[in-house]
Structure 1
Amino acid sequence: MSPIAIDTPTPSDGAATIVKPPKIAEWVAPPLTKQDLPWADLETLDLRLLDSTDPQVRAQLVKAAKKALTVDGFLFVTGTGVSDETLKRNLAIAQFLTTGIPQEDKLPYAANLDGGSYEGYKLRGIWKKEGGVADNIEHYNLESSSFENPQGQHPPQLLPLLSEIQAFAEHTYRHVVYRILKLVSLALELPEDYLWGLHDQRGAIGADCQRYMGYFPRDDEQEQATGGIWSKGHTDYNSVSLLYSQPVSALQILTPEGQWRWVKHVEGAVVVNTADALEFLTGGVFKATRHRVVRPPSDQANINRYILIHFARVRRDLVLNPIWDSPLVKAKGKHSFQERIDAGGSAPTQDEWLRERIRRTGRELCEYLR
């Protein structure tokens, strides 16, 4: 399937007063780094091959996915059905949400991090790093409830853009995430819709989160104080994470050999990584890979890095026990929470794990990573 422009849905009754979208500055793609960095050697899989009528083609695709998820926990996917125009427009929205709205207009919509929720703004500078340097990260997060009766939920400047945001987020969930989960299910030797069935089908994007994000350069003194780390090594809290590839190099993954490797930009691709919930559900067969964000190479060090991330989550009430229905998990998996269970407890639900990790994130990001 060739890339398509995403249709914009008709706003709901709650958005009936939304006016014509404002003119916002275009996102201009920066040049790629010319530096020869130690790049991660990641698999690139074309999701369109899932539609192949040739069993051998599908078998090779599943085999490659299984290897990538077992060894790296990261891979690229293409064939997402997102046009270059749509991608640039949404990166422009990320740019606008982080730099085009005054701080005083963002404050009422700050996320309740202490309550374990990212919905709304994570404002720049609220976390301190080594040497007292404020963080350089800002993001705006939307969930299914963000699109229901939106008046009062968002800064007024965002409301005219909400239908575009919903269209992009919904396509990512119901087309891209759906097909990725189908591929992962097959890699687990399960029926192809098995994992999709563990994700919430209600609302625009189920239990998922769509993030519009910016990282902003700091001066040399601040970079020295933080060791050039913009976001310390971590795993994600959900099932799978999707990052639409963009030109500024800053993402690194930790290889099985314990080495940090840069993730290279692949035009039109999505970077997919296994997150905690999928690791728990697979009994550790597919591991959540640690990754971090660092200062870009010198020829990109002064460029704002805008990104689009979609965090797929299983149903919030789903207990994160291994999927013993999978022959692969049954043969090789182990319960990640066996000690809790032996002590009379139980594995957490997706919601419990999510809230626990979000509450801890600010404290974790204050720590200095060597």
Structure 2
Amino acid sequence: MQHLRQLIEIENSELAQVLRFSLYGLEAALNQAREEYPQDPGIELCEQFLQELYQLLQPISVPQVEVSGEFKLIHLQTAFNSDSELNSYLGNSPLQSQNDADLWNEIQRCLLRVPENLAIAWRRLAGELAQEVGAVEDTQNLDELPFIRDEIIYPGLSGTIQAKGLCLSQKALLKTDINRSYATSELQLLAGFLLLYRKVLEIEPNLHHALKSVFSFDVVSFYTSPEQRHLYLEALSDRWQRTEKTDENTDPIFNLRAWIDMDEAIHSLVFIPPAERYSWWGKLQQESRRVLKKVANKAIKAGHDIRLKQLSGLYADNCTFSKDDIQLDCGGTPGEVLACLRVYARINQEENPGRVLFRSLR
């Protein structure tokens, strides 16, 4: 560890910065693997190594410096903008915030779109850099997003920087216009998505949509085409109302089609590049897919021949199952599916093509 310590402590070194970020990622990966494989024969050595790694990554004590006329978090902004791995998931657009509070929120929201291990490493680094300028993470000062559960998405800051964090809140859900109890947890989840999306579109300027029934030609930005926000939310609400009526309908095929349409609307809210599948955003949207499978299983139990396929992997292997796909020139791996907007469905021998975003080979 001697040479690692010497390199990581060099001030103003790009190599030291790259090493620190890589070790954060290694730490996060090993912690996750340790939880998944508690009986692994290497578990004790892994824990000892993690302890050494933790000590190595402790922030170096530096004198507090007053930063006037610029961000206190200027070093965090610079490091974030220059990280090539982050850029591969987020695109090359630099951070746009003009003050520390907005910068904290912009960075934290970006981290919701990258793989979990990378997000964990960067959240830890962001917290350390904030602490160096006299700010501390605050899990009480949070903006609330309505949803079916309580969850801190990311903390705010207090001290020299005042910034609100973000959380999911059942209490906020109960205050909305859709607050009644539903017969199934599945319908409660979809109501949560509808209300969550309404609120998210107010605070996240980087969102787009690719809902074919609203705009069939391309992925469209809500920032550059603000009228699309109303059109998308109106379509989402209409599909929600049709899905809500499935609670009263005994036809499993009618119900399945309504749920497929609703799931498509949920997955058609996207970033460019699309959020990584195992990011916070990716996992959130996958909750809709898991419910869709339950609805399909009910139709199967009723005697229907049903096959659903979430399209992923090489586009060449999936294009026969999809239609009206959209090609992008950023994100992911060239030639692969970036996001499955609509699942492929075979319903009693009837083919219903899916729809995807995919990366061009060029």
TM-score (norm 1): 0.27
Q: Greater RCO between the two (CA within 8 Å, min separation 6)?
A: 1
Higher helix share: 2
- Normalised by the length of structure 2, the TM-score is 0.28
Largest Rg, 1 or 2: 2
